Amino acid sequence: MPNTFYITTPIYYVNSNPHIGHSYTSIAADAVARYQRLKGKEVLFLTGSDEHGQKIVLASQNANLSAQEFIDKIVGNFIGLWDMLCVSYDDFIRTTQKRHIDVVQKALTILYENKDLYLDEYKGWYCVPCETFWPPHSLEDQKEPKKVCPDCKRPIEEIKEKNYFFRLSKYQGWLVEYIKTHPDFIKPPSRRNEVLSFLENPLMDLCISRPKERLSWGVPIPFSEEHVTYVWFDALLNYISGCGYLDKSEKFKKFWPADFHFIGKDILRPHAVYWPIMLHALELEPPKTIFAHGWWLVPSLDKDALGEKMSKSRGNIVDPVGIVKKYGQDAFRFFLLREISFGLDGSYSESSMVNRINSDLANDLGNLLNRTITMVEKYFSSVVPKSATPQNLDSALIEKALGLHKTFCTLMDELDFSASISAIWEVINHANKYIEEAKPWNMSKEKNIDRLSTFIYTLVEVLRIVTISISPFMPNASKNMWHQLGITTPFEKASLEDLSIWGKFPVGTKVERPTPLFPRIKL
Ligand code: MSP
């Protein structure tokens, strides 16, 4: 097994501020990056910003700023949010950086020299917000003279212009065969089927340039004075420019092909169709897995619907900064990853988030930590005692906690964050019941020090295991727990293997004064 791991998020359009949907992809990718680091892997976690194209130009004009001034401002808000959410990316790529522009121009030159690009005149329909050409057959069912974009439903324009095209059609057979023979390439399976059924129709060649007279904010095409690069063709290449493709460096050899591209389901086609063909034409391997997750919706007036899409025009955007200020980054991350299965759509509401915080975080986890530390304080003057021989009640909990390692790894490898969290909570709930059943107050009354020290040691050990396993989801809370438990080894030294070893909690450790981990919230 290679000891490196490369994961990416989409590069976000910096035409407006980030919302909960953007946070979701980054938080999920961050949980995986942290999990892989716990496994001992050398991780490259890449994120960044998509800074070219018409959308950016329109947004900057609306803000009365130059495109560069505008993106510099918005990109700062994205970076600020990632810091706030503890997104531990290793590199941030901006498509206006030289290291990226050079890669785009290199790729264009290779494809042009190999005759995979050609100049042609295009006459047809174009959606400006989506920056997409629509072939006549996709508009067949629209009778009115004014046509709308099949994707975003906004009006589209009829245009005629000379552009460069990429021979997607030449590689269609190869792509279908590749997808069929690589079951892990597109996940979940519903998305794989969607791509395969799309590929049952002939693929149109992809228009990869825009005339400068219509749009100049893009990467110049090296072999044409009159064109810049189509924003999607430019953007997809970030995944290789961000890992050193330009000079085929050691880094590139180490990390390419990427293990995961995390994306939302709306951008499946460019990733699962254009991108692998671009790579194949450049004689590079496709990424190992493209995972398309679902959408966060907001409650709609239609009670039967799961919710409606967030959009500026509907004024229903959920602002992650506000939520984090109110509830903290750990609770927000926990909620997003716990509430729905990765891959499905979910509906965001503040009340369901508060319920999760109160029940799972304040009641179950927070109480377990608080009660345990308070008992170490009360019965052993804050110093963790040595365990005597465990009895049945203790052994059942020990077995449960040690069993977590295997279940947790299997579920995390499958990207089932919600089920991984449930598995951790089974241990937490078992430990809370254990306290009730063991009745430490009686052990204390009877001065049964052996039983009391075994009881306390079992609990702190369980908490050590819980602390490590929640860290991919709640990095701050786990550091806080580590500190309250008094463990002096830096948390960064913890590893997944530590989950399967009983007895690592150093006897004689002095616990800190307990402080509430997640205070209860009144709705
Ligand atoms: N710039 C392109 C990506 C280029 S990658 C080579 C883009 N950017 S985006 O900012 O519009 O969207 C980025 C990601 O946010 C997408 O994966 C998209 O699915 C995700 N989300 C946007 N709204 C969302 C929700 N409401 N819910 C979940 N994720 C959604 O597309």
Cα 45 to chain centroid distance, Å, stands at 10
CA of 265 relative to ligand 1 center, distance in Å = 8
Please work out whether the CB of residue 267 comes within 6 Å of at least one atom of ligand 1: yes
Q: Whose CA is nearest to atom 6 of ligand 1?
A: 236
CA of 26 relative to ligand 1 center, distance in Å = 10
CA of 153 relative to ligand 1 center, distance in Å = 18
Q: What is residue 3's predicted lDDT score, i.e. its pLDDT?
A: 95
CA of 264 relative to ligand 1 center, distance in Å = 6
Q: What is the pLDDT of residues 143-201, one digit of tens each?
A: 777 889 888 888 898 888 999 999 999 999 999 999 999 999 999 999 999 999 999 99
Please work out whether the CB of residue 346 comes within 6 Å of at least one atom of ligand 1: no
Residues of the chain falling short of pLDDT 50? none
Q: What is residue 159's predicted lDDT score, i.e. its pLDDT?
A: 86
Q: What is residue 130's predicted lDDT score, i.e. its pLDDT?
A: 77
Distance, CA of 341 to CA of 223 (rounded, Å): 46
Q: What is residue 304's predicted lDDT score, i.e. its pLDDT?
A: 67
List the strands of the sheet with 289-293, edge to edge. Answer: 91-94, 42-50, 4-13, 260-264, 289-293, 186-187
- 227: enclosing H helix or E strand: strand 227-229
Q: What is residue 521's predicted lDDT score, i.e. its pLDDT?
A: 93
Ligand 1, pocket-test mutation among 263, 317, 319, most atoms within 8 A of CB: 263
**Position 294, amino acid:** G
Q: Whose CA is nearest to atom 5 of ligand 1?
A: 10
- CA torsion sign, 389 to 395 to 397 to 402? positive
Q: Whose CA is nearest to atom 17 of ligand 1?
A: 264
Please work out whether the CB of residue 295 comes within 6 Å of at least one atom of ligand 1: yes
Please work out whether the CB of residue 51 comes within 6 Å of at least one atom of ligand 1: no
CA of 342 relative to ligand 1 center, distance in Å = 15
Of 467, 438, 430, 436, give the one whose Cα is nearest residue 455: 438
CA of 446 relative to ligand 1 center, distance in Å = 61
Question: What secondary structure does DSSP assign to 293-342, as a single string?
Answer: E--EEB--S-TTSS-B---TTTT----HHHHHHHH-HHHHHHHHHHHS-B
Burial (0-12, 13-18, 19+ Cβ within 10 Å), 283: exposed
Residue 275 alpha carbon, nearest atom of ligand 1: 6
Q: What is residue 522's predicted lDDT score, i.e. its pLDDT?
A: 85
CA of 238 relative to ligand 1 center, distance in Å = 15
Question: Structure pTM?
Answer: 0.95
Residue 262 alpha carbon, nearest atom of ligand 1: 17
